[in-house]
A and B are shown apart, each in its own frame.
Chain A
């Protein structure tokens, strides 16, 4: 706490009061809201400044956790529906309208299940593993925006942070597999380690290519660089980035262990891989982490390539951005942008499910072949190509074509 107190610069409260509740993109500042709300009521914030920061952090953490839970509830239902409809089935239909509350019922069942730890398991590691896996995902949500300004911490090295702490999850998975003392778990763990370490490289290269175009590591800055018509989205910026966006989507499937790269938990080969021995709440955390990771990689794809919260039509994006807009317009614009961002992210989650229920699982050697012999060389070529394209065309949108005709990005 003393560290936290030192980290808060003196006069932070005055800054929060001064800067307004919304930023330039119509985003919210939570601390400013609290301060200005208290001011409006004629109250003083009764504690020191770092208490406010700590409270804000807790609230934000709780919000993100709540969001992950809600999203997982929805996504599990969606997954079951997508799979069912692609296989001429109906899927869950009994609990709630079209089975919408089925996941809630399953979640309640999981929480009241007996918590089993195998006798020969390494107890501390076994207990710690799901926590680390889930934390590894949760921590990646820190620099991820949910809408304009709606971000836990807009750090300058946001994208680097997302890529870096992603590896924490691997440690948790390895712990889970090793501590289970089960050969299937261990196989799954080894596969996870090889897979996730390999596929981080094409993802990192795709990140770098986007950073070159945007000129910043910050996810907010990257989104703001794609403002305007939809051809200023990075996926249309040059042909190499289009290819890189596809490479990122493929590699992100492997990164969150989804089919066709679900070798770590291959049901038909390894029972259920690294979480074979887990039951009840601990299993639920692995499950939650998987769906949170699905949202995360989709949201990152939206931020990097598909324009973030910009709808691609300036007339819609402009709502609430003018300096003399009323508070209502600003709020409407903000909510709309958050909704657009969420819709895009959920669309890519749907694409992941779509791929999962279409393609069969690849073999281990095929998986390594795809990563090292296909994705990696192509992504390297695309990185060089994209950078050269940026240098030569000066960064025009939509392959530079609108710039040629005097449109401008």
Chain B
């Protein structure tokens, strides 16, 4: 090791330490901007509108048709109630008020497939943004959507927004698919006359 190398090494080390410490100091000073920690129970991360969490049920809209529990591939929805003024189960589905006495979903069974949303006539069941499934007991995982207040009023707004957003996204996707289809058809139509002259040539 030459003397020049000895001193150039020291200068190199000092320089690199200064650069490194500058970086950490910048991060330390701007910690409010840089922090990526989310203090979970109090703060929650952004949830995408199509997130499929615990069901959100608009109780007043429900007509007690059992379509959701019928379509459920794992049979995790348990519904009880009366329909009609006299408490007898009869008549059509739509527009007639129903009285629900039980609307329980067993989240140890539910696979969050979202199939229950599709056949619902008044569109009153929706997989919401709530993802906290903590329980100390198996029975606690059976959530009664009528009595267990899973969603607060603030969540209601989010759910509404998410539902609109969801519909918009679905419509957009559908539109895009149709456009694609139309484009493909147009391309096909445009491509179709192409070979014709060649066929006609001989």
Contact = CB atoms under 8 A, between A and B. Distances in A.
A358 B24 CA distance: 6
A357 interface: yes
Contacts of A93: 39
A89 B37 CA distance: 6
A93 B38 CA distance: 11
B20 interface: yes
Nearest to B34: A88
Contacts, number: 39
B2 interface: no
A364 interface: no
A90 B37 contact: yes
A354 B13 CA distance: 17
B186 interface: no
A90 B35 contact: yes
Which range holds the interface residue count of chain B? Answer: 10 to 19
A79 to B, nearest CB: 12
A5 interface: no
B31 A85 contact: yes
Contacts of A87: 27
Contact of A85 (B17, B20, B28): B28
Given A85-B27, A86-B27, A354-B28, A359 B35 contact: no
Given A93-B39, A374-B10, A86 B17 contact: no
B35 A89 contact: yes
Given A86-B27, A88-B27, A374-B10, A358 B21 contact: yes
Nearest to A89: B37
B25 interface: yes
A76 interface: no
B189 to A, nearest CB: 56
A8 B42 CA distance: 63
Interface in B1-31: 10, 17, 20-21, 23-25, 27-28, 31
B135 interface: no
Interface in B26-70: 27-28, 31, 34-37, 39
Contacts of B25: 354
Contacts of A90: 35, 37, 39
Contacts of B28: 82, 85-86, 354
Contact of A88 (B21, B23, B35): B35
Contacts of A85: 27-28, 31, 34-35
Which range holds the interface residue count of chain A? Answer: 10 to 19
Given A85-B27, A86-B28, A354-B28, A359 B37 contact: no
A165 interface: no
A355 B25 CA distance: 10
A355 B21 contact: yes
Nearest to B10: A374
Contacts of B20: 358-359
B9 to A, nearest CB: 9
Contacts of A357: 24
Nearest to A90: B37
Contacts of B24: 86, 354, 357-358
Contacts of A84: 31
A88 B10 contact: no
A126 B148 CA distance: 57
Contacts of B36: 88-89
Contacts of B35: 85, 88-90
A358 B27 CA distance: 11
Looking at B24, B34, B36, the one whose CB has the most chain A CB atoms below 10 A away is B24
B32 to A, nearest CB: 9
A390 to B, nearest CB: 25
A357 B34 CA distance: 16
Nearest to B9: A374
Nearest to A378: B10
A82 B24 CA distance: 10
A41 B20 CA distance: 61
A88 B28 CA distance: 8
B17 A359 contact: yes
A359 B37 CA distance: 23
A358 B39 CA distance: 25
23 contacts: A82-B28, A84-B31, A85-B27, A85-B28, A85-B31, A85-B35, A88-B27, A88-B31, A88-B34, A88-B35, A88-B37, A89-B36, A89-B37, A354-B21, A354-B24, A357-B24, A358-B20, A358-B21, A358-B23, A358-B24, A359-B17, A359-B20, A374-B10
The 8 closest A-B pairs by CB, nearest first: A85-B31, A90-B37, A358-B24, A86-B24, A88-B34, A85-B28, A358-B20, A358-B21
Given A85-B34, A86-B27, 18 more contacts: A85-B31, A86-B24, A88-B27, A88-B35, A88-B36, A89-B35, A89-B36, A89-B37, A90-B35, A354-B21, A354-B28, A355-B21, A357-B24, A358-B21, A358-B24, A359-B17, A359-B20, A374-B10
